[in-house]
Amino acid sequence: MRIALAQLNYHIGNFAGNTDKILHAISEAKKNDADIIVFGELSICGYPPLDFLEYDDFLSQCMEAVQVIAKHCVGIAAIVGSPAKNPVLAGKNLYNAAFFLAEGEIKSITNKALLPTYDVFDEYRYFEPAKEFSCIEYQNQKIAVTICEDLWNLDDDPLYTHCPMDALILEKPAFIINIAASPFSYQHAEVRKQTLIKNAGRYKLPIVYVHQVGAQTDIVFDGGSMVLNHQGSIVQELAYFKEEIRYVDLKINNAEVTDITSQTTLVAKASHAEKYSLIYDALLLGITDYFTKLGFKKSILGLSGGIDSAVVYALAVKALGVDNVLPVMMPSAFSSSHSVNDSEKMIANLGGKGQLIAIEKIYKAFETELQPIFNGLPFNVAEENLQSRIRGMLVMALSNKFGHVLLNTSNKSELAVGYGTLYGDMCGGLSVIGDLYKTDVYGLANFINRNQEIIPQNIIDKAPSAELRPNQKDSDSLPPYDVLDAILYLHIEARKSFAQIVGAGFETTLVKRILSMVSRNEFKRVQFAPIIRVSAHAFGLGRRMPVVAKYNL
């Protein structure tokens, strides 16, 4: 049996675009003599559709698309993901389903049983979990069709009370097909592989795993679809961060798969084994799809001469093209000369054109008007934030005038402790590095410079500073970033308490201050731009905390 793995990039709610893409893949698979072509989870509507699922018209268009695709499934079968109506009155109105299409019609529907409701997932909000399980039959073979999370319950401390495959294996299927939408994080690809290997070993069956690729606002899907044999060895692995269709031949005798061959041999992806390579590719895809799927082309950002804006500028130019990125330098009286010089050098390195708008006169005008109200009060954070808000106002004015999307340049360390100004440097339509701690921003900068100097070395080497007062350094108010980021990682990613972090060797007063800063700045983060997710716990949908609370972590 020849199976086509269709690893595609879907667009939420774009039924015409998704359907055309699926039909083109079916046509190609027919030419390559495939018996079945498999698409990703909720491929009809895109994942995650969120509250679109509460609109009857949206659901009707899903079913219309499935019916159109089914008519093209003659001489080939297809498995596509779509919401399906729950025919009974009890429970949620929908299932997250896999439709098996053959002979021009819908032959069967398999519903997802294990509905993740954690991190960025909220499937139980919309879907009813399946309680009945049966294999599909095709060419006299039984196939166990599962949907993403249905294979993710083999941990020592399982999240769910049952495993769908424990029921399906009783029907003695020849192999497993799993369609998935599994969000990227830089640690997740290896976890995913180990999960599939564990399933193949437990059930002694080959697995055809079809993932999707592409970014949906803040969530990135990295592809990496694969085929495993019954011993758990990966015999086929598709590209990461790219659309691709590949074929695998399963030789089945007496309902057992005796051999697996593929059109292409497995290629080890050493370049994707490194953390910053994965993050780099994920962020590029996140930027590209955000602009492409929203119909935008041009971007703008403030280029300060610091490491954060330099990394975002380099990524944006790579993703969108140098002519589609406008860097704006906005020095003040407190800006060092090298801030502008370093920025100009970087713009030249990339062959771009920038804009310089000095803010000192604007700042003085604000200062003059505020003087009677401030009435001789000492310079403090109010004047610092005023500079940041002037910059935010300027880049937003340019954004409005020319239709450029403002890219935010704040990092995760700053967002965690509130080291940013609302309506100032926290402005933006998309946060590019908001899920990268400062130490990882430096790591990514060095990765970007791995072959040639794109980011001037002085930007990487100099001490970080917001340059909002004379001789300011980040270290004036924050601990060294390697210490800060270690504490933040334990608190945010590892979910450790105050006592546990202190127990890990960090100074008590410092930990208390940092955790207090994280807690009291939640109000800023809920007003922040969408953040491209590259870790297991990004701010936004993946970390939901109350703004008004009193809890001593």
- Catalytic-residue membership of 148: yes
pLDDT of amino acid 133: 96
> In the predicted model, is pLDDT for residue 387 greater than 70?
yes
Stronger pLDDT, 258 or 289, i.e. the higher one: 289
The class (CATH top level) of 276-474 is: alpha beta
Mean pLDDT of 383-397: 95
59 pLDDT tier (thresholds 50, 70, 90):
very high
Query: CA-to-CA distance for 472 and 148, rounded, in angstroms?
Result: 49
Which of the four pLDDT bands, split at 50, 70 and 90, describes residue 273?
Answer: very low
Annotated catalytic residue, options 62, 135, 148, 427: 148
Cα gap 33→24, rounded to integer Å: 14
pLDDT band (50, 70, 90) for residue 121:
very high
- Judge: domain 2-268, CATH 3.60.110.10: yes
Residue 42 reports pLDDT greater than 60: yes
Indicate the pairing of strand 36-38 with strand 2-7.
Answer: parallel
DSSP per residue, 394-452: HHHHHHHHHTPEEEE---HHHHHHT-S-TTTTT--SEESSTTS-HHHHHHHHHHHTSSS
Catalytic residue (choose from 41, 123, 128, 467): 41
Q: How far is CA 89 from the centre of its chain?
A: 35
Residue with tokens 């995650």: 48
276-474 has the same fold as 2-268: no
Mean pLDDT of the region 235-254: 91
Please give the pLDDT value at position 463.
84
Q: What is the mean pLDDT of residues 153-159?
A: 89
Q: What is the pLDDT of residues 65-80, one digit of tens each?
A: 999 999 999 999 999 9
Instruction: Please give the Cα distance from 299 to 318 (Å, whole number).
Output: 12
Is the pLDDT score of 336 beyond 90? no
pTM for this model (two decimals): 0.94
At 266 the pLDDT is 35
Helix or strand run (H / E) with residue 252: strand 244-253
Domain ranges of the chain: 2-268, 276-474
pLDDT value, residue 553: 63
Portion of the chain with pLDDT greater than 90, in percent: 86
Q: Is 485 helix (H, G, I), strand (E, B) or coil?
A: helix
Q: Is 142 annotated as catalytic?
A: no
Confidence of residue 552 (pLDDT cuts 50, 70, 90): low
> What pLDDT does 267 receive?
36
Residue 256 pLDDT exceeds 70: no
- The pLDDT of residue 301 is 98
pLDDT in tens, 306-315: 999 999 999 9
Region 472-487: mean pLDDT is 87
Q: Which residues pair with 109 in a beta bridge?
A: 99
pLDDT, residue 92, reads 94
| Cis previous bond, 546, omega within 30 | no
Residue 529 has pLDDT above 60, yes or no: yes
Q: Is 298 annotated as catalytic?
A: no
CA 1, chain centre distance (Å): 34
d(C-alpha 410, C-alpha 440), whole Å: 13
Q: Which of 36-45, 315-324, 471-480, 501-510 has the lowest mean pLDDT?
A: 471-480
Instruction: Provide the pLDDT for residue 262.
Output: 52
* Sign of the Cα pseudo-torsion (225, 489, 430, 277, in order): negative
Q: Is 147 helix (H, G, I), strand (E, B) or coil?
A: strand
Per the CB < 8 A criterion, the answer to whether 234 and 267 are in contact is: no
Across 431-460, average pLDDT: 97
What is the spatial distance between Cα 359 and Cα 467, in angstroms, rounded to a whole number? 13
- % of the chain at pLDDT higher than 70: 95
Average pLDDT over residues 428-433: 98
Instruction: Give the residue-averaged pLDDT of 246-251.
Output: 94
pLDDT at 215 over 50: yes
Catalytic residue among 21, 45, 112, 123: 112
